[in-house]
A and B are shown apart, each in its own frame.
Chain A
Amino acid sequence: MTRHLSTRRDLLLGSGALFAWASLPRLARAEGRDPRMLVIVLRGALDGLATVAPVGDPDWVRLRGDHALRLDGTAPALALNDMFALNPAMPNLHRLYKAKQAAIVHAVATPYRERSHFDGQDVLESGFTRPGATDSGWLNRAMAALEPAKGIRVKPQQAFAVGPVTPLVVRGAAPVLSWTPPRLPPAADDTVMRLLDLYRHTDPALARVMEERMGLAAIARADGMSDMKKAAPLPGGAARVAAFFAEASGAAARFMAQADGPRVGALAFDGWDTHAAEGVTQGRLFSLLGALDGAIAAVETGMGPAWKDTAVAVVTEFGRTARVNGTDGTDHGTGTVALLAGGALNGGRVIADWPGVGETALYEKRDLKATTDLRAVLKGLLHDHLRVEETALAASVFPGSAAVKPMRELVA
């Protein structure tokens, strides 16, 4: 993969100098570990309950009805423990969970309690408690907080980002190396639908051509692969989205696996704002979760032997409404899941102070209540995996989070 880095076209400078020769984390290094941490941001708000369902909660099926993931459903969920089961789109994460290399934190959220995507993403990625507070991300500041080993000038120590836009979580003073896959994914079906809706209300002529495009795309997909190649570019077929997820995350892993490669990285996947026709066990969310599952597998493969030193954290700005809305989707909510994977993890656990999904248990009578602060999870990983000191975590990485203690024992 280094050849990609060597061509100017693919090499974009996220921020700061390109190769700032700094040192490796001293403590982790002294222990003979060489930890990697990859953060995957899911933009649009992941439906945590449709990803990891509380199948053992007596109120669960009543809450979601036909849309509830069940162990005995037509597409049976994958059991994690007595209480929780995983969406069947994610067999790979399930395998890792069984191998104690994946953990799930449920009923988790950032401190943000409003319901705007942009602001929620700002809080999630900046690590501050309010949106728009800063132009840097917590992962970058964690890098900066790592105390360098004295006198060792060994390797380029930088963060890594995949995608044309460096995610905020990794932007900041510490140098960021970024790589863009040669082919970006096409516009998502979701964007097409939103546009079509706008055109239908404002511009019939444009609505007509957009409808035609969608009709052609549907035909091309129905005709199978051979015709797909011949057809005009599709608006984000599931296979292409999955290919993009896998390519982006696999590339990140291969860079980070290198002896002198970056040790932390971040990438973002869009498309999780499932207001209508969510498709939990078949359809949109199912495809996206499948793509995410493939991305995690690509990280495992790409890391190779370094997988044992790896922690992947999959996070999102907030959850979705506990109940299904009138269009078979879910609206902006609060509590959701964080998915953790990697050989370095103390996995095989669902970590949750479960609030329940009964009528009275819901936050503002509509959302899964957040009983765990996502910052505790991230601080725990940064502390135990990368060895960022707790004072720095509370002061500069997640300012104002002194009361939120790092969650311990996430790392084996």
Chain B
Amino acid sequence: MAPDPKTTRLDSKSLAALALHRFGFGPRAGSLAAVAADPRGAVLAELERPGAGRIADDDLLSGGEAARAAFDFRQERKAQRLAQREERNQERAAQAKAQAKAKADGTAMADGKGMEAQADQAPPADDEQRKRKLGPGIPQQIFLEEAKARFDSALAAEVGLIDRLTWFWSNHFCVSVDKGQVRPLAGAFEREAIRTHVLGRFSDMLFAVETHPAMLVYLDNARSIGPNSIAGRRRNKGLNENLAREIMELHTLGVNGGYTQDDVTRFANVITGWTTVRFKRDPEHGGEFDFNPRTHEPGAQTVLGRAYEDRGIEQGRDVLLALARHPATAQHIATKLVRHFVADDPPRDLVDLLAKRFRDTDGNLKDVTRALVGADAAWLAPRGKLKRPGEWMVSALRASGVTPPDIRPIVQAQNLLGEPLWRPPAPKGFPDDNASWIDGVTQRLDIANQLSRRVGGLVDPDDVAEAALGPLLSAETRQALKRAESRPQALALLFMSPEFLRR
């Protein structure tokens, strides 16, 4: 273990505040005192807590259940639309018949009236209108329940390191609900493929991620077909390299990780057949991961200079394991971790330390996390990183001691702040540097303002400031709070103060 953190110039309570903001989701009332005796120990202790990395909620659906619920829902709505269309057609036919009869009877209406009768028919409501009328669908309901579980976990955590790690890895291995089918799956994906592995082995997380239906759908591998597979020869469809490329470029080796286009194509061939169970074929398991031999490209493939014989799904597992153990992956992951937790320009020694631990432990993420928290360099860096929007909101809620009764305003606020939940702009995920987020800080003022109006009359801003920052509260901010014209304003100023925005 690294030397004592007291080698830094900070006193123990300042270190406690630093620890909670940098490695967790910020203090709640009483947190500072609780961890002040041993801030580093308190952060590390969270790694040892039984059940770490689990969300115990029986109401949340598994990925497969969510996919099937969404599928059933889509089928139902489709049937409704068809029925409505049929109804309208019949009405029109009946009217036309009545008009024709009236005309034939010699009591034809004037042309104008005929037109009017036509206009009376309500035009079919456009999609948006119809959706509003029906209310949020099953996929959105699942999305919101998952969002609530995610925020609740971060709000309830002692320190929040496990949740911070979950958010980090979820962004590293991101999926996007921009793709409609991913919407009901994103939460389950994070719980099943990410959260359970944040203290496990990287290769296990990698395999869980790349075989999860959310990822297979998001990066199109579910539709990728080996050109020489049974299905490929029959149909004129073929390979989709999207997932294979992003695994190498983003998930493991990094963009300069030394792979070639040929490696990507070979690897894409390896993971053909990694898809999801079709709903109609198997109603019990529809939407779950499936290895389909009929779409899997047969034969050995050479990836990064090593030949992999065709062992069905194991061929892909072999390649993933090799990628996980590649030194470029260790460097890539270490760099991103340090950039996230410590500084935009990651201290090189710290990155190397983490990369070595990653390699030495065969990607044991608990050990890597221990190395990060244990390193003095991780504590000595100035508190310059801007908290990401969601992280900042959670820390503000924790500081004010309120649990929002409704998750929707939180989700909407995250949209407004440019970090829509499970909807990054690209497979690369949200950026993780100050330059990307600083302009949006002014938007945070509106959120701080709203939150403060909601809780500002119920809490004492001085107490909140003391609990949230303790000795890290600057004299200037202290004075600004004291001079505020109302408690809500004081609270908004606190949440917008540099020492609360940065960690």
Contacts and interface: CB of A to CB of B under 8 A. Distances in A.
B90 interface: no
A198 B487 contact: no
B449 interface: yes
Interface in A156-211: 163-168, 184, 186-188, 190-192, 194-195, 197-199, 201-203, 205-206, 209-210
A187 B457 contact: no
Contacts of A166: 457
B327 interface: no
A235 to B, nearest CB: 7
A191 B493 contact: yes
Contact of A43 (B446, B460, B485, B498): B485
Given A9-B406, A191-B489, A186 B449 contact: yes
Interface in B446-496: 446, 448-450, 453-458, 460-461, 474, 476-477, 480, 483-490, 492-493, 496
Given A117-B485, A118-B487, A163-B453, A209 B441 contact: yes
The majority secondary structure among interface residues of chain B is helix
Contacts of A121: 486-487
Contacts of B489: 188, 190-191, 194, 270
B316 to A, nearest CB: 45
Interface residues of B, number: 38
B498 A203 contact: yes
B99 interface: no
A192 B442 CA distance: 9
Contact of B446 (A205, A206, A210, A233): A233
Contacts of B474: 202
A212 B442 CA distance: 9
Contacts of A168: 457
Given A163-B453, A167-B457, A194-B493, A187 B446 contact: yes
B501 interface: yes
A261 interface: no
A269 B492 CA distance: 16
B111 interface: no
B116 to A, nearest CB: 33
A187 B448 contact: yes
B439 interface: yes
B486 A165 contact: no
Given A192-B445, A206-B441, A206-B498, A165 B485 contact: no
Given A164-B454, A233-B446, 18 more contacts: A9-B406, A43-B486, A118-B461, A163-B453, A165-B458, A165-B488, A184-B453, A187-B445, A191-B489, A191-B492, A195-B445, A195-B480, A198-B476, A198-B493, A199-B498, A206-B501, A233-B443, A270-B485
17 contacts: A43-B485, A164-B450, A165-B456, A186-B449, A191-B489, A194-B484, A197-B480, A198-B498, A202-B476, A205-B438, A206-B441, A206-B501, A209-B439, A209-B441, A210-B441, A210-B442, A212-B442
